[in-house]
Each structure stands twice: as C-alpha cells, then as structure tokens.
Amino acid sequence: QVQLVESGGGLVQAGGSLRLSCAVSGRTFSGYTMAWFRQAPGKDRIFVATITGSGGRTYYADSAKGRFTISRDNLENTVYLQMISLRPEDTAVYFCAAGPLGTGISSSTKLYNYWGQGTQVTVSS
C-alpha cells in the first residue's frame, strides 16, 4: 500500500509563493509517476503537473506553465510543487497522486491509483 501525505499549503497574497510537499511511504517510490491535481469548491479535480519516476520528464497544465515547478527527491521519497506568482484563481485543495505508469505521464485522474488527503491553498487578492 502506498500512502501520500501533503503539506505546505496555506494562505498567501496574490503574487506570492508556496512550496507543497508530498511524502510517500510504501512501495518503491521511484517506480511511480507522481502528479499534482487541484480542486476548487464546486468544481472537478483538475490536472496541474506530473513527473516521471526518474524525474526526467515533466508536463504541466497550461495554467501552471511558467509559474509552477514539479520536482521529486527519490532518496527522500518526496515530490514537490513550487508555485510562484500565485493568483486568486489558484485557490483550491491540492492533491498529490501516484500512478504505476512506468516511464509514462498522464493528466488523467483515472490513471493514478493512490491519492493524498489534500492541502488547502488560498490566494487572496
């Protein structure tokens, strides 16, 4: 069983920065593609960013490109999401997810088997 625990969320003013962390326990961390999704109140959970097991490939939603950076530390079993230039529309619960995609990446929630409990990010204007 793989367990994911997110941290690092909070309240920040527009233009500010946050770094989210997701600590993973269980099976071999490097074997999992990792991703971040977010869900605003009353809306669907949507893709933000993903990274392959080796960290060699990343992919971002258009809304995240140029502002967010996903990275991972396979020795610390942790994946990160560095967010800068935050906007009020980035306000959401951010979820970390793990999927056994080999060397692949995906923006679909359906391909990720394991999810964290989420961390709230609130950006004030």
Q: Summarize the confidence of residues 94-117 as an average pLDDT.
A: 92
pLDDT over 90 (residue 102): no
Q: Summarize the confidence of residues 71-94 as an average pLDDT.
A: 97
What is the average pLDDT value for the chain, to the nearest integer? Answer: 95
**pLDDT tens-digit series, residues 25-70:** 977 898 899 999 999 999 999 999 999 999 999 999 999 999 999 9
Residues 6+ apart with CB under 8 A from 34: 22, 24, 50, 51, 53, 70, 72, 79, 96, 97, 98, 99
